Amino acid sequence: MKNSVLSRVLQGFAAAAAFVLASAVQAGPVNLVQNGGFELSTNGNGQLDFNTAVSGWTAPGGYNFVFASGTADTSGAMTWFGSQNDIPLTLWGANNGGANALAHSANGGNFIAADGAYGVVPIQQAINSLVIGTTYMLKFEWAAAQQWGFHGETSEKWSVSIDGNTFETATYNNQSHASSGWMQEAFTFTAKSGGSLLSFLAAGTPEGHPPFSLLDGVSLFAISSPDDGSPPADIPEPASLLVMLTGLGLLAVARRRRQP
C-alpha cells in the first residue's frame, strides 16, 4: 500500500515537473525588440512618419513604407508624391502583372518596404536593456522587390547596425518585375554598452528602377551571460527545476508516511 502511495505521489510530481519544464521552454528569453513584426501602426499601409506611424520605430524623412498583408501589389501605400494625384505606391506581384507572386513572410501580417536608392533613411529603434558582456542574437526575415511601373534588373540588401557593430546581408540580384522569397538572417554580438540604436538601412541599385528591401520578424535575444558563457538568467535551467521538484516530492512523501 505504501509503495502504491509513493508511486502515485512521485508520478504526480513527475507530471508537474514536465509541465513546468514545458512552460519554461515555451516562455524562453525576452525579445528586446518592440513590435518586431510591425503590426502596431496607425495605418495598415502608408509611408513611415508621413501618413503612418509604426509603434517603436522611427524613420523620419525616408522613403520607407509599411504594407498590410496582401496590399503591396493591390491597393498599395500612399506616398508624399502619390498623395498629390491619389496614386499609391505598389510593388510588382502576381496581382499587378509581376513576374511572380509576392511571398508571405513566416512572421505574416505587416512588413516594411524601403527604397534602397532614393530617400534612404534608416529604420531605427532604441534598445535600452543590453547587459555589457552578454552575447545577443539578432534575427529577422528579409526579401527583395521592385516598385511597380518600373523596369530593369535591380539589387537589394540590408545594412544593420547595433552597439557599434555593422552587419550586412548578402546582395540579392533581382530580375525585372520580380521579387525574391523571404530569407532568414541571424547575427550575434557581445554588448559593449547598456543601450544602443538598432538600425536597418536599405541599400539597392540602380536609382530610378526602384529597388526595395523588405523586412519582417525582427527579434533580439540574449543567448549567453557575461564572462562564463552560461545561459542568461531569464532562461530557466531545466535540471535545476527537476531537482527542486523531485526534492519537494520526496518531502511530501516523507510527511505523508509520518501521518497516523
Q: Kindly give the confidence (pLDDT) of every residue in the chain, 260 residues in length, as a single tens digit, with 9 standing for 90 and above.
A: 545 544 454 455 445 444 444 444 445 689 999 999 999 999 879 999 999 999 999 998 899 999 999 999 999 999 988 766 678 999 999 999 999 999 999 999 999 999 999 999 999 999 999 999 999 999 999 999 999 999 999 999 999 999 999 999 999 999 999 999 999 999 999 999 999 999 999 999 998 899 999 999 999 999 987 755 555 544 444 444 444 444 445 444 445 444 55
Domain spans in the chain, listed from the N-terminal domain onward: 2-27+236-258, 46-224
Strand order in the sheet with 211-224: 46-47, 64-67, 111-115, 211-224, 135-146, 183-190
| pTM listed for this prediction | 0.78
> Which CATH architecture group holds 46-224?
Sandwich (2.60)
